[in-house]
């Protein structure tokens, strides 16, 4: 055995003794790296990162997961939820998981491990913030999951600080698993689809060699008349050194009688670019990332469809990963049914300003959102009296309508007639519409006068408003103009903010007594 072989063998033995059983590709400095594929390329989690499509897909996923806001919530008896800012895990998960990383950095690292290796581990350390004070990431290549007879597992971790193996109980490890094929560990997309990534690596190297050789395969010379083999080899070496790589496109001078002919093919003929494009799209499908997000826009997305592709990215790529995170946190860290984590995925589904405005307007009018809930979604501070939920006054609950119908048809109810005539029902509906219209007119009046008071409006401006407001009242309530003018003149003399309930009652009485 040569000296070099003995040195390599000794180094391998020392490394194995220091780190325990090495990973399949953990012998990068004395042996082949990664799993061999049909193309001859060796693929591992590290070499796969050299593929631009893989790097871009993982970057899009991990950065999106890292930037999502979230929190720990408590369940309310009425089925609602409340942000539990005082929960000890709130700060750990969404602010500072350990002394070295922010929440973004920690989540991005964990998701990168999950995408490349199928597993992501963090050791749980207790401390001042409780049983879960720090979450320290552990590199998956240094972790080995060992099932126990009891049905539980333990983790053997080769600590990089000491190079010694130590065992960690399952209760002290936060473990994310991707596409499980067993009860203990997840599966690596890179390992399962090694041939796909190997093909992309082979195409990348092939294209690199293509460009390095001046985008030509090879050439041959004819008419040469060399006296010796040595002269021929010398001419060939001089030609290659003077007319290839960075010296390409130089003027060539051939000896008398010699001719050069190319046997190369063009990039279009070789379809190198098309094959690389196909590999990029195939890799995107493995990571559930729409191709346009990594710059592959041809025949995949247009300006009209890009918003739908972004929704697909959130629905089919990000949301399943978020659910994996939420359920793992619930199972291994919170351990309580009262509290649960929630990531704000809705932040990724916002449309443009016009679409958001129309959506918020509809939701506020339906009473689903309050004004403050809209402001919080738009990163604005709450406003006073902004937690109310509104609905149109001419709406009624179905239960109220059902109760009213039952009462009107109940002959034992002394407060109602045995049978209500159609005229009476019409009058009741008309009265409800009048009340709603009066409320609308008074709301406009109160709002306008309040703004005028705040802005210091003059008497002339107030009089001008009430002249226009009289026409508005006539249009809404269909009452004679002199009645509306009389109401507005009496309020204009006061030059003060009207009492809402009193003004509504007054205007309702005027309307009911003078409907045209």
Query: What tokens were used for 293?
Result: 């997000």
Checking if the pLDDT of 247 tops 80, the result is no
Q: Give residue 101's pLDDT.
A: 95
Q: What are phi and psi of 378, to 5 degrees?
A: -95, 15
Q: Give residue 30's pLDDT.
A: 47
Checking if the pLDDT of 270 tops 60, the result is no
Q: What is the mean pLDDT of residues 276-288?
A: 85
Cβ count near 488 (within 10 Å) = 21
Q: Give residue 217's pLDDT.
A: 45
Instruction: Give Cα separations from 431 to 8, 436, 509, 515 (angstroms).
Output: 97, 9, 10, 11
Checking if the pLDDT of 481 tops 70, the result is yes
Nearest to 33 by CA among 201, 282, 275: 201
Least confident of 62-66, 270-274, 459-463: 270-274
pLDDT tens digits, 191-230: 888 888 888 888 787 777 766 665 454 566 676 777 788 8
Checking if the pLDDT of 20 tops 70, the result is no
Confidence of residue 154 (pLDDT cuts 50, 70, 90): very high
Q: What is the mean pLDDT of residues 140-162?
A: 92
Q: What is the mean pLDDT of residues 71-96?
A: 88
Are 30 and 8 spatial neighbours (Cβ–Cβ below 8 Å)? yes
Provide Rg for the chain, Cα atoms: 38
Checking if the pLDDT of 352 tops 60, the result is yes
Confidence of residue 300 (pLDDT cuts 50, 70, 90): low
Q: Give residue 157's pLDDT.
A: 96
Nearest to 172 by CA among 191, 193, 156, 150: 156
Checking if the pLDDT of 421 tops 70, the result is no
Share of the chain above pLDDT 70, in %: 75
pLDDT tens digits, 360-369: 888 888 888 8
Q: Give residue 360's pLDDT.
A: 84
Identify the residue with better confidence: 457 or 423: 457
Are 89 and 83 spatial neighbours (Cβ–Cβ below 8 Å)? no
Are 364 and 374 spatial neighbours (Cβ–Cβ below 8 Å)? yes
Least confident of 197-206, 239-248, 376-385, 465-474: 239-248
| Average pLDDT value for the chain | 78
Q: What is the mean pLDDT of residues 495-499?
A: 75
Residue 13: exposed, middle, or buried by beta-carbon count in 10 A (0-12, 13-18, 19+)? exposed
Greatest mean pLDDT among 117-126, 289-298, 505-514: 117-126
Greatest mean pLDDT among 20-24, 50-54, 231-235, 334-338: 50-54
Q: Is 382 helix (H, G, I), strand (E, B) or coil?
A: coil
């Amino acid at each position: 055995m040569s000296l070099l072989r003995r040195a390599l063998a000794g180094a391998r033995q020392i490394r194995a003794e220091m780190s325990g059983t090495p990973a399949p590709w953990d012998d990068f400095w004395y042996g082949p790296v990664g799993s061999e594929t049909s193309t001859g390329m060796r693929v591992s989690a590290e070499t796969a990162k050299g593929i631009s499509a893989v790097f871009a897909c993982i970057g899009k996923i991990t950065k999106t997961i890292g930037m999502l806001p979230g929190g720990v919530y408590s369940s309310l008896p009425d089925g609602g939820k409340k942000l539990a800012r005082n929960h000890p895990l709130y700060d750990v998960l969404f602010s500072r998981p350990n002394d070295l990383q922010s929440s973004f950095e920690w989540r991005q690292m964990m998701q990168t491990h999950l995408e490349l290796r199928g597993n992501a581990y963090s050791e749980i350390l207790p401390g001042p913030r409780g049983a879960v004070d720090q979450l320290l990431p552990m590199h998956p290549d240094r972790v080995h999951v060992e099932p126990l007879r009891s049905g539980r597992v333990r983790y053997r971790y080769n600590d990089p600080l000491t190079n010694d193996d130590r065992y960690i109980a399952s209760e002290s490890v936060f473990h994310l698993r991707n596409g499980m094929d067993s009860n203990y560990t997840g599966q690596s997309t890179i390992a399962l689809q090694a041939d796909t990534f190997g093909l992309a690596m082979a195409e990348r190297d092939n294209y690199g060699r293509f460009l390095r050789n001046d985008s030509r395969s090879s050439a041959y010379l004819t008419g040469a008349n060399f006296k010796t083999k040595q002269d021929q080899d010398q001419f060939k070496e001089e030609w290659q050194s003077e007319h290839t790589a960075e010296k390409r496109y130089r003027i060539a001078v051939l000896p008398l009688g010699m001719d050069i002919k190319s046997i190369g093919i063009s990039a279009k003929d070789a379809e190198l670019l098309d094959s690389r494009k196909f590999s990029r799209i195939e890799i995107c499908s493995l990571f559930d990332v729409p191709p346009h997000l990594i710059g592959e826009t041809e025949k995949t997305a247009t300006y009209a469809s890009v918003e739908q592709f972004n929704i697909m990215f959130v629905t089919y790529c990000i949301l399943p990963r978020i659910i994996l995170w939420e359920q793992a946190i619930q199972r291994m860290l919170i351990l309580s049914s009262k509290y649960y984590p929630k990531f704000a995925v809705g932040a990724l589904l916002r449309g443009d300003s016009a679409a958001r405005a129309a959506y918020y307007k509809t939701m506020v009018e339906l009473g689903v959102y309050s004004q403050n809930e809209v402001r919080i979604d738009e990163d604005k501070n709450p406003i006073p009296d902004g937690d109310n939920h509104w609905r149109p006054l001419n709406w009624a609950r179905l239960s109220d309508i059902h109760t009213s119908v039952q009462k009107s048809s109940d002959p034992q109810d002394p407060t109602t007639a045995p049978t209500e005539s159609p005229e009476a029902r019409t009058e009741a509906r008309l009265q409800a519409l009048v009340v709603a219209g009066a409320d609308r007119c008074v709301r406009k009046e109160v709002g306008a006068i309040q703004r005028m008071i705040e802005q210091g409006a003059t008497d002339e401006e107030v009089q001008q408003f009430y002249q226009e407001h009289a026409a508005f009242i006539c249009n809404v309530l269909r009452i004679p103009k002199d009645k509306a003018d009389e109401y507005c003149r009496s309020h204009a003399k006061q030059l003060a903010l009207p009492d809402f309930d009193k003004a509504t009652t007054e205007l309702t009485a005027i309307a009911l007594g003078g409907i045209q």
